Copies of this chain bind each other. A is one copy, B any other.
């Protein structure tokens, strides 16, 4: 057991400090024993809607989209990056996933046995409280984002997305879009054609430079005004 524990390095994982700080060493060892780490390439499916929830999954590296199928169209719920919990939404309310997860960039996912995690949560209340806080924050964020976006017009929505990638994800005004125009449309409920049209408008107005998937925000202030008043 100790052997497993040493080889798996969970004790030194950056996640431990962030999240498993309240987990005792012997509990961590139990988690480690049943852990597996998977690599997914860009475009690969990590979770399929309807699947049974067997693992508590978090992202070590990469970028993924969480989305659901609605009629003949997908709706992107949110994105997740390193150290985000990919399976946190339904884990405690359902036995099956009601959304899918796909890698947008090559990603490494750490999968912990869900029953072990639940068992530890029901024995270690500090750990449970950590889960509670994490889940609450994530849900609040998703709800806030969806409500923010739905009250904006199309220009405002595109501005919102661009600011999101520039400020939240890449933290710089130039970046490569990790998503297609179609996926942007699925994120903010509009048609692909209009995503393209409005990006072109922003380019013509000198707000952006666009080279395929590469975006450079030239006039961030103006973009923020469009986002706030749109």
A-side residues, CB < 8 A to B, are 68, 70-71, 73, 75, 77, 89-94, 98, 118, 121-129, 131-133, 135-137, 139-140, 142-144, 146-148, 150-151, 189
Contact = CB atoms under 8 A, between A and B. Distances in A.
Nearest to A89: B140
Given A70-B151, A73-B151, A139-B142, 17 more contacts: A75-B147, A89-B136, A89-B143, A90-B140, A91-B136, A92-B129, A92-B132, A93-B136, A122-B125, A123-B125, A124-B125, A125-B128, A131-B132, A132-B132, A132-B135, A143-B143, A151-B189
A70 B148 contact: yes
Copies of the protein in its oligomer: 2
Contact of A126 (B122, B135, B139): B122
A90 B136 contact: yes
Interface of A, secondary structure class, is helix
A146 B144 contact: no
Contacts of A126: 122
A144 to B, nearest CB: 7
A77 B125 contact: no
B140 A93 contact: yes
A154 to B, nearest CB: 14
A114 to B, nearest CB: 13
A191 to B, nearest CB: 12
Given A135-B135, A136-B93, A143-B139, A151 B71 contact: yes
A201 B125 CA distance: 54
Pick the 5 closest A-B CB pairs, nearest first.
Answer: A139-B139, A125-B125, A128-B128, A93-B136, A92-B136
Given A125-B123, A125-B124, A128-B129, A68 B136 contact: no
Contacts of A128: 121, 125, 128-129, 132
Contact of A146 (B124, B129, B146): B146
24 contacts: A70-B147, A73-B151, A75-B147, A75-B151, A77-B147, A89-B143, A90-B136, A91-B136, A92-B129, A92-B133, A93-B133, A93-B137, A98-B144, A121-B128, A121-B129, A121-B132, A122-B125, A122-B129, A125-B125, A125-B127, A132-B132, A139-B139, A143-B143, A146-B146
